[in-house]
Amino acid sequence: MVNPILLIVVPLGLAFALPIVNLISKKIIKYIPVLAFLFNLILSLLLIPKVLEQTIIVKIGGFHPPFGINLFVGPVGILFSTLIALAGFLVSIYALSYIKEGPKEKYHILYLLLLTGATGVVLTGDMFNLFVFFEILCISSYALVAYLGNKAGIESSIKYLIQGSVGSSLLLLGIGLLYGQLGTLNMADIANQINSISSPSIFVPMIFIITGLGIEAAIFPLNAWLPDAHSSAPSSISAILSGIAIEVGLYAVIRVIFTIFNASSFLMFFVFLGVLTLLIGEMSAFSQKNIKRMLAYSSIGQIGLIMFAISLNTQLGISAGFFQMISHTLGKGLLFLSVGFLIYKTGSMKISSFEGIGKKMPITSLLFTIGAFSIVGLPPFAGFASKFMIIKAALTTGQLLFTVLIGVILLGTVIEGAYFFKVIQSIYFKGTTDIIKRDEAPLIALISMSIFVLLIIFIGVYPDFIARILNSAASEFINRIDYIRSVLG
Amino acid sequence: MSLELLLIIAFSGAFLTYLSGKISSQLRDGVAVLISLGLVAIVSFLYNVQTETVFYQGFFGISLILRMNSLAWFFAIAIVSFTALCIIYSLSYMKDCERSNYYYFMMLLINASMLTIVLAGDLVTFFVAWEIMSWSTFLLISYNRNGALQAGIKYIVLSLIGSMCMLVGILSIYTSFGTVNIADVANHLTPSSVGYKLFLLIIFSITFGIKNAIMPLHTWLPDAYAESPSPFSAVLSGMLTRMGVFGFLLIMYVIVGMKTTLHLGRGFLSFNTILCWLGAITIVIPTFIAMLQNDAKKLLAWHGIGQGGYMIVGIAFGTSLGAAGGIFHTLNHATYIVLLFLSVGAIEYSTNGLRDLNSLGGLFKKMPIAFFGGLLGISGLIGVPLTNGFVSKWLIYKTLILGNAPFLAFAALLGTWGTVLSVYKFLHNLFLGQLPEEHKEIKKAPLTMQIPIVILSFTIILFGILPGLPLKVINSIIVAAGFQALDINIWGVTSETGTLNMLNIFAAIAVFGAIFWGIFKVARKSTPVDQYDNYAAGAAVPKNKYHYTVEYYAPFYRMGKPFLKDIFDMFYNRIAEAIGSICDSVRKIYTGYVGSYVMYIVLFIASLIFVQLTWSIF
Amino acid sequence: MEFLSNYIYYIGAFGLIFIGLFIILVKHNLIKVIIGIGILDTGVNLFLIAVGYISKGTAPIFSKAGLDANNMVDPVPQALVLTSIVIGVAILALALSLAIRLYKHYGTLDLRKIKEQRW
């Protein structure tokens, strides 16, 4: 049997091997991330059927939980690790032609580390281990935001760093408080004992941990770093930050709330917070002139939608939330990647500079359009299926409040539609009508983006394909007793 | 011929057209025409077929169904025929335009999605097709750039609002009954509460009201019609907008059911009465606003809104005569509005994109086919006997009079007066009067543009004299919806207070026509002279200075202008501006200063503590 | 007095945390903010150590017979703190290097003036 720990070990090991390889040949380093995530993708896909049958607990060093560090490879973990590997693989293919300047070997090292951290966060079963992987994720993203070394990148990076390090201190503080009371760091063990202590002394570590993780998850009002960082990073990194990093952050938040603290009563607050996050994100995106900032704000909106769905605290709601995460990863990833080359060719991030680019780069523009349609939630793309599921989940609860909030969310969708359609108009229907010489993005990037499109259409048309894994993922969150039992035996 | 195959041909035909356009434009034209005519052939073979097939089950396990019945067939044949005519027309109209591959692709995609809408046997298929139609329409409205961009945004925003309402409605049905099959939903809905039915009716009415441009929701329409390429304006006004009528029929008489819909509420406050009145308002105001327009396509667009009002009044009134009239009017309106848009398009083509009523005129001799198209079109629009518009308007008037609704009948009549005034301006300012100097030498509209005009003109007369042909299908639609069957023969309709028999009318008009023709032939006195063989107070007429189509209804314009503003449009614009400025101020919370961001983090912790202390939810 | 001796580490730890947060919130100079982050980090580390500390305890190694396991200092927080110090150093190093680059671009480290990325 293959060991799921390879999902973490291989990219981590390759990240450290990369400088050595760089000494030998400077040309092959850019293929290392591709190989690493291809390996991860294949491994994750192979693991899916096994995990769906039974959760795999990896005991590192042979210590039995709650003593050693263990990995918990459940449906959620494998779902996320597949998603991370998929996005990592496609974006690294894209980066083959996109990353041309700067210290390339550092880019690839940090890229591997970033996604290793993300995989670690979703697979780990230990609180402190979560913190460590989280820090790997954060620090490598601070550095990658500043990769271009320009004014915007450095400024965004330092702001991100300040907020992020406050957050990680809070997280560590929360973990310390929890450890002080329970004497354990194993997540299942904490979950098992959480009801034995009084609620105020759980509440304090909980809010610290939620706030600390919430900064990475871009919950309003902790998301001020996001538009800066996502818009200043290289586009391939923006795709990963938007598609993977914030969702991993959100995963951590909900894992803490559902499994560790059993605080489902707290989710009512998160429902409102989610809707607020959505509205703030969409409204801020509405009058943006900078395309990447617009996409970044739209990510905030999508996170709000995911939060809303998951906070419904029903089987259907949580699976809808995961579905929305998948379609957001694919859609927003595609948008950032295609915008990357649009910006590269026009030399500007202003939406007005894209006028007429549809003639110059028809395929890239088409890919952008499909991504935008999917994010807005138009059929037959993935965004529609996930939005369909979210609304269904909210209406199934039968509560008037959720029905009203659905109205607010759909208002957000209309705003979202309005600004995306404006961009599409300026791409295709503005600017010169003369015949322009084609200047398309490189083939390899187009291939990587086309795979995104194929997946978006496939999942949008055939959502039942992922229904089973979504369902088991949702049950993993709902049945926390099963989680505890499968780890502690 | 199974329905799946039909849709596969429709959708893949669209892609095929696009791809063949990459090879050569002749090939593409051929493929486009072939596909659209093929669809007409297939759909007409499906006449009187009643089938239902489950074609897909992979979408959350919902059985997606296609269904063919008389209602679906009626709309389907209309959609494919009008699209085919517009495609043929486009062959030369769009010849030198850029992105013509894209244009044909979108036309056929819209055609296919409309076809899916009418064939949908469940609400999810309906919604998906509806959305595909909406976004592809948006992409085609924006095609003409410049002013079209604003029109496109207005369209898509309103359309999104509508479809979001519909999505909530559909999912509420799905979660309550566990099915989206239209027939099953109708059964499940019978015992449910009046409030729920009313909720569904209202929420769907918003969607379909936006699409059909009922008065407070109409603002997207004038700009969208005016700014699209003319053949697409024709499809847009003829069929796409009327998907709203189809939707109203579906929700009122198929899903909720006729008996329930007509008994929701009491007296003036019942659902269908309110809808009737909205329809009446939609007839009157836009028709008079149309009179003030100086853009030929905008004038037609406002009439499109007004005529939509007739359909709604007919359908919502809820008698078999009214429903038949409403449905028939949908078809008739499509024939003459498509014809009118195509005629205007021909003029646009010949005068290089001119459609300003102030600067055209006298094109009668230059473009006789377009003139006769326009003449028959406006006759239909007014409802002159022997044109099809007469029959459907007669049915609607009759309904209103029989149904003791004098005010509604008066509104409908008022609408017709307004129509007469404004379409006369249309016809006169384009075709009659003096030909401006610069249009002396215009290129002729080619054959492919004339054929659709001739076919449509012929159809108007055909359905005007033999209204029994379409009414037979319509009769089976209304019987399926639960209405009493009408007594129909090929020449017209028999009702309890009088019979419409086009044969008599035809004979009478033919006789009088012959007499008048004889008189004018014999006693002809006029001598044709050149239009500049003229004088003005002793001085020569300065060429190109005076043009008497300018400000045609100037006195009326002065009188009516203060009252005939599109206040709703202004209202929506105001709202849009307000939302824009709110959005602009919301994003100011991201100040750019890190200290305030960290302050947000602290405040977040504080608010969590506050929530816990106040409500102790944890 | 006994209270103080029992809780002095916690008081110190939270004191450092609040000082750190205060600096980050109030100071405008980037270097000072980075110092604040360092202090905040140190406070959290001290807190972690304090959690596992037992006064007059022994090292958690059974080197001699008769050592009471209850009187041993908890080793886990110490291991955690080692990791967290390393992380803290990494963040500080990154922050300082970014500060140098930022100074090159803006010519100032006043955060009130570094506001190009906003809205």
ipTM of the complex: 0.94
**Separation of alpha carbons B561 and C59, rounded Å:** 94
Q: Which residue of A135, A162, A232 is in closest CB contact with C117? A: A232
The CA distance from B299 to A197, in Å, is 75
Give the model's confidence band at A437: pLDDT under 50 very low, under 70 low, under 90 confident, else very high: confident
Task: Give the C-alpha separation, B41 to B103, whole Å.
Answer: 23
Instruction: Give the span between the Cα atoms of A473 and A76, in whole angstroms.
Output: 5
Query: Which pLDDT does position B541 carry in this prediction?
Result: 61
Nearest to B219 by CA among B564, B563, B557, B573: B573
Task: State mean pLDDT over B123-143.
Answer: 92
pLDDT of residue A416: 92
What is the rounded CA–CA span in Å between residue C112 and residue B594? 8
Q: Is the pLDDT of residue C115 over 90?
A: no
With 0-12 CB in 10 A as exposed, 13-18 as middle and 19+ as buried, what is B344? buried
Please compute the mean of the pLDDT values over residues A357-365 and round it to a whole number. Answer: 89
Nearest CA in chain B to C37: B598
Q: pLDDT over 90 for what percent of chain B?
A: 31
- Asked if A417 and A410 touch (Cβ cutoff 8 Å), the reply is no
Per-residue pLDDT reduced to its tens digit, B555-606: 777 877 777 777 888 898 899 899 999 998 988 888 888 889 999 999 999 9
* Two structure tokens written together for B114: 């409309």
| Alpha carbon of B593: minimum distance to chain A alpha carbons (Å) | 9
Q: Measure the CA–CA gap between B511 and A12, rounded to whole angstroms.
A: 95
Chain C interface, Cβ < 8 Å to A: 17, 20-21, 24, 30, 33, 37, 40-41, 43-44, 47-48, 51, 74, 76-77, 80, 83-84, 87, 90-91, 94-95, 98-99, 101-102, 105-106, 114, 116-119
- What region does B537 belong to: left with phi over 0, alpha with psi -120 to 50, or beta? left
Neighbours of chain A (3+ CB pairs under 8 A): B, C
User: Which of B98, B143, B617 minimises the CB distance to A265?
Assistant: B617
Contacts of A386 in chain B (CB under 8 A): none
Count of C-beta atoms within a 10 Å radius of residue B448: 17
Most confident residue range from A69-73, B519-523, C39-43, C64-68? C39-43
On the question of pLDDT at B130 being above 90, the answer is yes
Give per-residue pLDDT as tens, A2-19: 788 899 999 999 999 998
Place of tokens 């894992």: A255
If interface means Cβ-Cβ distance under 8 Å, which residues of chain A face chain C? 128, 131-132, 135, 139, 142-143, 146, 149-152, 154-159, 161-162, 165-166, 168-169, 172-173, 176, 179-180, 183, 185, 227-228, 231-232, 284
Closest CA to A140 of A20, A32, A34, A16: A16
User: C20 vs A152: CB contact, 8 Å cut-off?
Assistant: no
Q: What is the pLDDT of residues B181-238, one digit of tens each?
A: 988 898 888 888 888 888 999 999 999 999 998 888 888 888 888 888 889 999 999 8
Angstrom distance (rounded) from CA B206 to CA B199 = 11
pLDDT level of residue B100 (50, 70, 90 thresholds): confident
Distance CA A269, CA B592 (A): 27
Cα nearest neighbour of B603 on chain C: C25
- Give kind and range of the element (H or E) at residue B487: strand B487-489
Q: Which long-range contacts (CB under 8 A, 24 or more apart) does A100-103 make?
A: A102/A147, A102/A148, A102/A149
Question: What is the mean pLDDT of the segment spanning A20-32?
Answer: 88
Per-residue pLDDT tens digits for B418-433 = 888 888 888 888 888 7
Q: Cβ distance B335 to B460 under 8 Å?
A: yes
Tally of CA atoms within 13 A in the half-sphere of A288 that contains its CB:
32
What pLDDT does residue B1 have?
57
Q: Of A329, A333, A331, A282, give the one whose Cα is nearest residue A304.
A: A282
Predicted confidence at residue A164, as pLDDT, reads: 93
Banded model confidence at residue A76, pLDDT cuts 50, 70, 90: very high
Contacts of the segment C79-84: beta carbons below 8 A, 24+ positions apart: C80/A128, C80/A176, C80/A179, C80/C48, C81/C45, C81/C48, C81/C49, C83/A128, C83/A132, C84/A131, C84/A172, C84/C41, C84/C44, C84/C45, C84/C48
* Domains in chain A: boundaries: 6-488
B-C contacts (CB, under 8 Å): 31
Three-state DSSP state, A27: coil
pLDDT greater than 60 at residue A77 = yes
Q: Would the pTM of this model clear 0.90, i.e. be above it? A: yes
- Going from N- to C-terminal start, the domains of chain C cover 2-58+71-106
Angle (deg, nearest 10), helices A6-24 and A104-123: 170
Residues A261 and A193 sit within 8 Å (Cβ to Cβ) = no
Assign residue B361 a region (left: φ > 0; alpha: ψ between -120 and 50; beta: otherwise).
left
**Are A154 and C105 an interchain contact pair (Cβ–Cβ within 8 Å)?**
yes
Which residues sit opposite B65 in a β-bridge?
B54
Alpha carbon of A447: minimum distance to chain C alpha carbons (Å): 33
Q: What is the reported pLDDT for B544?
A: 54
Position B84 scores a pLDDT of: 93
Model confidence over B332-357: pLDDT tens digits?
999 989 999 999 888 888 888 788 88
DSSP state of B552: T
Which pLDDT tens digit goes with each residue over A78-87?
999 999 999 9
**pLDDT confidence bin for B533, thresholds 50/70/90:** low
Higher pLDDT, B367 or B534: B367
CB contact at 8 A, B12 and B38: no
C2-58+71-106 is classed CATH 1.20.1560.10: no
Q: What is the mean pLDDT of residues A134-154?
A: 92
Beta bridge partners of B66: B53, B120
Burial of B414 per CB tally in 10 Å (0-12, 13-18, 19+): middle
**Mean pLDDT across chain A, nearest whole number?**
90
Q: What is the pLDDT of residue A46?
A: 92
| Structure tokens that stand for B193 in this block | 């509460």
pLDDT tens readout for residues A409-430: 999 999 999 999 999 998 888 8
Q: Are B388 and B336 in contact (CB under 8 A)?
A: yes
Give chain B positions within 8 Å (CB) of C114.
592
- Among B107, B75, B76, smallest CA distance to B91 is for B107
Task: Tell whether the torsion through CA atoms of A330, A335, A338 and A344 is positive or negative.
Answer: negative
